[in-house]
């Protein structure tokens, strides 16, 4: 005889949703509750992520959703052709575990999670088509796998060098091809007026990001790095007009906080520039450890945040050719992704950020399995040493169990920065 | 008629089952282990014999099992709780069919036991000397939430939000996490639900070590908590069998073992 229970047993999708909701809520609650002087207008973003990841609401039922796999796909063209770009880089451990069945064991968790998400076919906003720039090996190879799951998937050829005129030409051709493909898919023509509007709108969003970043140069930093990551991650999928409005509100609140010198950080909190594999919601493991250990992230050099917004499209004449070429250049020449053969730009950018944001040190995080970031660690560390900038290199993944070990190393590094600052005085 | 007793002395409770020579369950009794295992075990056995209107001479063979089994020196034999649990589960679920895996959550340990088609133990995994994901853990949670431990399942099914994850399943650290959640005005329902899922995930990891198969039997005191049962079912993705008396499976198995041992010695 058994005790009869007639409770519903979750389907695999329901289980995946619950697991992801639990991952999301624990980060969101920590952001809402664990830090002093919370920012009121951040609630828009907390609520946005809760709606999408805990309540599984769709945002774009009325639009064609254009999935992108990296930052190099020009969103300007997608908006100009009346689509919504949805960046599918994934930060969920739940999806990482699902993806593990398809990928080598030592693969990058971001790619595994992205593949897992596609394999589960469980989207709040399912992409109607996916464009994938051929950036790193794992993403490139994952493409054919994702296509085999039954998605409409198009590779966009991306060069691995950026210094030559040939690669520039090559990429400009790829962007034109992308525009043609999407235009055909949407059944719409790319017009000069629409593209100009889209470039201006994204340019405006970029200018808001820059304004937001300027506050972090202040001696009293009014916003957590964690919150900024959330704002920039929201740009992956939010309705752009809503994002702009919410970010404007946030900036107004930061103006007041800056004047009143309100900060979530302590007086002696070391200022950190964060670089390496991108923090993507809800994998904010390292940033969370940093800011819970009395550090404050003042700037970052990652493709989930700064790299998305840093460089504007520079247009001389608003004609189609000039717009297309300038836009292509922005996504290639300004990109500091470690997939490139040489990447002096990235080192220069990190050093510049340290100076502009008066940082005490750099934390460089690479996902175990993200070979290019793991490899580039060496040249970045050497360069920082030459400049006398303290740097900590960490490897991590999406698993929730590593916390203790990593936090000891981060704490020790932050303490050494505090001592260094004290001794300088 | 000859009778056989199985005494399971656990960290939290003493469970005694009596079977007849046909291995039918005649009666059982559960009492707290307290601090004097031996004394309470003897008292409980005497009380059970009384209740069943038997004489102590009717009990011809006693098998002790459980964590405190070696303290009960009057036993004719003692066997590990893993063997006893396997025997008991197979007998208790005779109406169900073949049991391939047993999940047992006790007062201070939890285990997964894998059985072959004969009911023999082929593999087992245990979480040892740690209150994480055990009955004790649920006690601590209920105490902190100021609710009764047997109402946990009611709260579980009332949860409408996202279950709040408890990142630490260490009973000591989890306590402070729960205080933190309460301090931030989160509902007890979502906390309880989150606690159940964190235990369930841990248990499923244990089950994975011995291999997940169909035919899962869940026993031990916490199996009475249907919220936890549902959480484990969701994590494992299948229905699990909870016996009518989940606390006494192991003592039942010990008593059955007694019949076999007695017959073997006297034939």
Answer CATH for B98-242 from 3.30.420.40, 3.40.50.300, 1.10.3720.10, 3.40.640.10: 3.30.420.40
pLDDT of residue B108: 85
User: Which residue among A3, A9, A29 sits closest to B233, beta carbon to beta carbon?
Assistant: A9
- Residue B157 CB neighbours (<10 A): 14
User: Which residue among B194, B230, B235 sits closest to A7, beta carbon to beta carbon?
Assistant: B230
Query: A26: which chain B residues are within 8 Å (Cβ-Cβ)?
Result: 164-165, 167
Residue A281 to residue A127: CA distance in whole angstroms:
19
Q: Taking 90 as the threshold, does the pLDDT of residue A290 lie above it? A: yes
Residue A181 to residue A371: CA distance in whole angstroms:
31
Answer CATH for B1-93+245-267 from 3.30.70.20, 3.40.50.10800, 3.30.420.40, 3.90.25.10: 3.30.420.40
Residue A272 to residue B96: CA distance in whole angstroms:
61
pLDDT of residue B34: 84
Pull the structure tokens for residue B69. Answer: 């089994």
Residue A384 to residue A386: CA distance in whole angstroms:
5
Q: Taking 70 as the threshold, does the pLDDT of residue A129 lie above it? A: yes
Under a CB-based contact definition with an 8 Å cutoff, are residues B86 and B260 in contact? no
pLDDT above 90: percentage of residues in chain A: 92
Under a CB-based contact definition with an 8 Å cutoff, are residues A358 and A296 in contact? no
Mean pLDDT of A253-264: 97
Under a CB-based contact definition with an 8 Å cutoff, are residues B250 and B226 in contact? no
**At a CB cut-off of 8 Å and minimum separation 6, what does A352 contact?**
none
List A395's β-bridge partners, or say none.
Answer: A366
pLDDT of residue A202: 96
Taking the CA of residue B74 and the nearest CA in chain A, the distance in Å comes to 32
pLDDT of residue B176: 86
Under a CB-based contact definition with an 8 Å cutoff, are residues B222 and B228 in contact? yes
Query: A33: which chain B residues are within 8 Å (Cβ-Cβ)?
Result: 180, 184
Contact across the interface for A10 and B243, Cβ inside 8 Å: no
User: Which residue among B162, B184, B194 sits closest to A33, beta carbon to beta carbon?
Assistant: B184
Q: Taking 70 as the threshold, does the pLDDT of residue A409 lie above it? A: yes
Q: Taking 70 as the threshold, does the pLDDT of residue A352 lie above it? A: yes
Contact across the interface for B95 and A2, Cβ inside 8 Å: yes
Average pLDDT, chain A: 95
| Closest CA in chain B for residue A399 | B167
Under a CB-based contact definition with an 8 Å cutoff, are residues A291 and A297 in contact? yes
Under a CB-based contact definition with an 8 Å cutoff, are residues A25 and A94 in contact? no
User: Which residue among A2, A7, A15 sits closest to B96, beta carbon to beta carbon?
Assistant: A2
Q: Taking 90 as the threshold, does the pLDDT of residue A36 lie above it? A: yes
pLDDT above 70: percentage of residues in chain B: 99
| Residue predicted with more confidence, A425 or A32 | A32
Domain ranges of chain B: 1-93+245-267, 98-242
Residue A187 to residue A128: CA distance in whole angstroms:
14
B169-197: per-residue pLDDT in tens?
677 788 888 898 999 889 999 999 999 99
Contact across the interface for B239 and A9, Cβ inside 8 Å: yes
pLDDT above 70: percentage of residues in chain A: 99
| Residue predicted with more confidence, B96 or A299 | A299
Chain A interface with B: residues with Cβ < 8 Å: 1-3, 5, 7, 9-10, 12, 14-15, 18, 21-26, 29, 32-33, 54, 400, 403
Query: A24: which chain B residues are within 8 Å (Cβ-Cβ)?
Result: 162
Hey, is the C-beta of B94 within 8 angstroms of any chain A C-beta? no
Residue A206 to residue A232: CA distance in whole angstroms:
10
Query: A14: which chain B residues are within 8 Å (Cβ-Cβ)?
Result: 234
Q: Which of A74, A131, A48 has its CA nearest to residue A308? A: A74
List A130's β-bridge partners, or say none.
Answer: A67, A153
Instruction: Return residues 1-30 of B near A (CB < 8 Å).
Output: none
Under a CB-based contact definition with an 8 Å cutoff, are residues A130 and A153 in contact? yes
pLDDT of residue B36: 86
pLDDT of residue A270: 97
Contact across the interface for B229 and A5, Cβ inside 8 Å: yes
Concatenated DSSP letters of B21-40 = TT--EEEEEEEE--S-HHHH
Q: Taking 90 as the threshold, does the pLDDT of residue A425 lie above it? A: no
The string over B118-139, giving b where at least 16 C-beta atoms fall within 10 Å of a residue's C-beta and e elsewhere, is eeebeebbebeeebbbbbbbbb
User: Which residue among B180, B184, B234 sits closest to A10, beta carbon to beta carbon?
Assistant: B234
Residue A135: pLDDT band (50, 70, 90) is very high
Contact across the interface for B95 and A1, Cβ inside 8 Å: yes
* ipTM surpassing 0.85: no
Contact across the interface for A33 and B241, Cβ inside 8 Å: no
Q: Mutation target for B interface from A9, A55, A57, A289: give the one with most B CBs within 10 A.
A: A9
Q: Mutation target for A interface from B165, B167, B182, B205: give the one with most A CBs within 10 A.
A: B165
A97-105: list long-range contacts, CB under 8 Å, 24+ apart.
Answer: A98/A16, A102/A145, A103/A138, A103/A142
Taking the CA of residue B165 and the nearest CA in chain A, the distance in Å comes to 6
Under a CB-based contact definition with an 8 Å cutoff, are residues A398 and A109 in contact? yes
User: Which residue among A3, A15, A26 sits closest to B167, beta carbon to beta carbon?
Assistant: A26
Taking the CA of residue B200 and the nearest CA in chain A, the distance in Å comes to 12
Q: Taking 70 as the threshold, does the pLDDT of residue B198 lie above it? A: yes
Taking the CA of residue B36 and the nearest CA in chain A, the distance in Å comes to 32
pLDDT of residue B18: 97
- Residue A125 CB neighbours (<10 A): 18
B123-141: per-residue pLDDT in tens?
999 986 677 788 989 999 9
Q: Taking 80 as the threshold, does the pLDDT of residue A401 lie above it? A: no
User: Which residue among B162, B224, B234 sits closest to A9, beta carbon to beta carbon?
Assistant: B234
| Closest CA in chain A for residue B201 | A19
Under a CB-based contact definition with an 8 Å cutoff, are residues A381 and A393 in contact? yes
B202-223: per-residue pLDDT in tens?
899 999 999 999 999 999 999 9
Give this prediction's pTM. 0.90
- Residue A161 CB neighbours (<10 A): 14
pLDDT of residue B171: 75
Residue A402: pLDDT band (50, 70, 90) is low
pLDDT of residue B267: 80
User: Which residue among A3, A5, A12 sits closest to B244, beta carbon to beta carbon?
Assistant: A3
Asked if the bond preceding A267 is cis, omega within 30° of 0, the reply is no
Domain ranges of chain A: 12-424
User: Which residue among A1, A14, A54 sits closest to B162, beta carbon to beta carbon?
Assistant: A54
pLDDT of residue B207: 94
B44-81: per-residue pLDDT in tens?
999 999 999 999 999 999 999 998 899 899 999 999 99
Which conformational region is residue B245 in: left (phi greater than 0), alpha (psi within -120 to 50 degrees), or beta?
beta
Contact across the interface for A9 and B238, Cβ inside 8 Å: yes
**The domains spanning B1-93+245-267 and B98-242 adopt the same CATH topology:** yes
Contact across the interface for B184 and A24, Cβ inside 8 Å: no
Residue A400: pLDDT band (50, 70, 90) is confident
pLDDT of residue A358: 97
Query: B243: which chain A residues are within 8 Å (Cβ-Cβ)?
Result: 1-3
A170-191: per-residue pLDDT in tens?
999 999 999 999 999 999 999 9
| β-bridge pairing A129-133 and A64-68 | parallel
Q: Which of A97, A43, A37 has its CA nearest to residue A401? A: A97
Q: Exposed (0-12), middle (13-18) or buried (19+): which is B221, by Cβ within 10 Å?
A: buried
φ/ψ of A408, rounded to 5, equals: -60, -40
Contact across the interface for A7 and B233, Cβ inside 8 Å: yes
Q: How many CA atoms does the CB half-sphere of A74 hold within 13 Å? A: 34
Taking the CA of residue A186 and the nearest CA in chain B, the distance in Å comes to 37
Q: How many CB pairs under 8 A join A and B?
A: 71
| β-bridge pairing B13-20 and B3-9 | antiparallel
Pull the structure tokens for residue A311. Answer: 């460089």
pLDDT of residue B33: 87
């Amino acid at each position: 005889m058994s005790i009869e229970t007639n409770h519903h047993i979750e389907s695999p999708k329901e289980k995946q949703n619950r697991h992801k909701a639990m991952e999301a809520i624990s980060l969101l609650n920590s952001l809402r509750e664990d830090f002093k002087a919370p920012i009121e207008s951040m609630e828009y973003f907390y609520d946005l992520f809760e709606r999408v990841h805990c309540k599984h609401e769709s945002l774009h039922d009325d639009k064609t959703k254009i999935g992108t796999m990296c930052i190099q796909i020009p969103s300007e063209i997608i908006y100009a052709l009346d689509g919504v770009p949805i960046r599918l880089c994934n930060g969920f451990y739940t999806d990482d575990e699902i993806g593990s069945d398809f990928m080598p064991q030592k693969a990058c968790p971001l790619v595994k999670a992205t593949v897992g998400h596609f394999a589960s076919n469980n989207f709040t906003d399912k992409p109607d088509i996916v464009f994938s720039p051929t950036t790193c090996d794992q993403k490139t190879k994952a493409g054919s796998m994702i296509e085999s799951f039954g998605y409409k998937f198009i590779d966009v050829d991306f060069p691995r060098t950026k210094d030559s005129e040939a690669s520039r030409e090559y990429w400009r051709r790829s962007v034109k091809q992308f525009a043609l493909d999407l235009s055909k898919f949407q059944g719409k023509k790319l017009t000069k007026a629409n593209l100009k509007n889209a470039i201006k709108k994204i340019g405006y969003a970029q200018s808001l990001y820059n304004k937001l970043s300027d506050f972090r140069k202040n001696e009293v930093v009014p916003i957590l790095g964690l919150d900024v990551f959330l704002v920039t991650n929201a740009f992956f999928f939010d309705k752009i007009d809503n994002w702009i409005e919410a970010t404007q509100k946030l900036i107004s609140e930061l103006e007041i906080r800056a004047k009143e010198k309100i900060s979530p950080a302590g007086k002696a909190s070391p200022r950190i520039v964060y670089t390496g594999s991108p923090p993507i919601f809800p994998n904010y493991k390292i940033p969370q450890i940093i800011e819970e250990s009395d550090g404050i992230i003042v700037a970052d050099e990652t493709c989930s945040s700064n790299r998305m917004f840093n460089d504007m499209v520079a247009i001389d004449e608003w004609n189609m050719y000039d717009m297309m070429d300038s836009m292509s250049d922005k996504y290639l020449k300004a990109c500091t992704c470690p997939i490139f053969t040489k990447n002096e730009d990235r080192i220069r950018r990190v050093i510049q950020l340290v100076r502009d944001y008066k940082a005490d040190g750099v934390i460089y995080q690479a996902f175990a399995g993200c070979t290019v970031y793991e490899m580039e660690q060496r040249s970045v560390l050497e360069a920082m040493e030459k400049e006398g900038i303290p740097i900590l290199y960490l490897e991590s993944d999406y698993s929730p169990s590593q916390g203790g070990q990593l936090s000891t190393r981060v704490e020790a590094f932050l303490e050494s920065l505090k001592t260094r600052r004290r001794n300088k005085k | 008629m000859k009778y056989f007793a199985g005494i399971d002395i656990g960290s939290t409770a003493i469970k005694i089952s009596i079977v007849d020579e046909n291995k039918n369950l005649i009666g059982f009794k559960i009492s707290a282990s307290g601090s004097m295992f031996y004394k309470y075990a003897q008292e409980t056995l005497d009380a059970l014999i009384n209740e069943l209107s038997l004489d102590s001479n009717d009990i011809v063979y006693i098998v002790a099992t459980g964590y405190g089994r070696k303290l009960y020196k009057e036993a004719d034999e003692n066997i590990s709780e893993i063997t006893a649990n396997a025997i008991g589960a197979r007998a208790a679920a005779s109406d169900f069919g073949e049991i391939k895996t047993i999940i047992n959550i006790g007062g201070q340990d939890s285990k997964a036991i894998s059985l072959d088609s004969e009911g023999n133990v082929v593999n087992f995994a245990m979480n040892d000397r740690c209150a994480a994901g055990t009955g004790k853990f649920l006690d601590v949670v209920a105490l902190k939430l100021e609710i009764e431990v047997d109402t946990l399942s009611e709260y579980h099914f009332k949860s409408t939000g996202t279950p709040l994850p408890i990142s630490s399943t260490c009973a000591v650290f989890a306590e402070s996490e729960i205080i933190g959640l309460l301090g931030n005005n989160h509902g007890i329902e979502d906390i309880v639900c989150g606690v159940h899922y964190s235990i369930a995930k841990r248990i499923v990891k244990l089950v994975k070590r011995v291999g997940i198969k169909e035919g899962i039997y869940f026993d031990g005191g916490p199996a009475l908590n249907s919220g936890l049962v549902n959480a484990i079912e969701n994590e494992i993705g299948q229905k699990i069998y909870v016996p009518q008396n989940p606390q006494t499976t192991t003592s039942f198995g010990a008593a059955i073992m007694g019949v076999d041992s007695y017959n073997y010695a006297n034939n």
